[in-house]
Structure 1
């Protein structure tokens, strides 16, 4: 299955980060938040507002525009 933007993963599903698209500033910000290539994440909420992501025991809110730039592989 090809990689897809994070916003297309449904609530309750897990995915693996494949790629972070964007400039150096965006990539650095994502790494500071804990997003790394190859890590497993879980979608806690993917409704109308920001996505809530389960990440290493923490929950992080991501705007839909940011989530569009993170490519994942569904697990």
Structure 2
């Protein structure tokens, strides 16, 4: 199994799965409420000027690189 990497390091078009969240409890709870739960697939649809557009559970979210760096993911093989 490959080690998890921060979502901020994932290239546009890459599909991954959530491996964990390394953030404060309040931010982790907020991300979980948005659907960022373990093993949930995420697709980076756009990487643009310090932010990512990601698709998760049929919803698209814009995340700053700082927030995206707290979401740990593994590539989908």
* Structural RMSD (CA): 0.9
Tell me which residue corresponds to 2:12.
11
TM-score (norm 1): 0.93
Aligned length in residues: 75
Q: List 4+ stretches of structure 1 deviating above 4 A.
A: none
Aligned to 1:70: 71
Post-superposition CA distance 1:1-42 (Å, at most 9, x none): 211000111111100000101121011110111110110010
Greater strand share, structure number: 2
The alignment's TM-score, normalised by the length of structure 2, stands at: 0.91
Runs of 5+ consecutive residues of structure 2 not aligned to the other structure: none
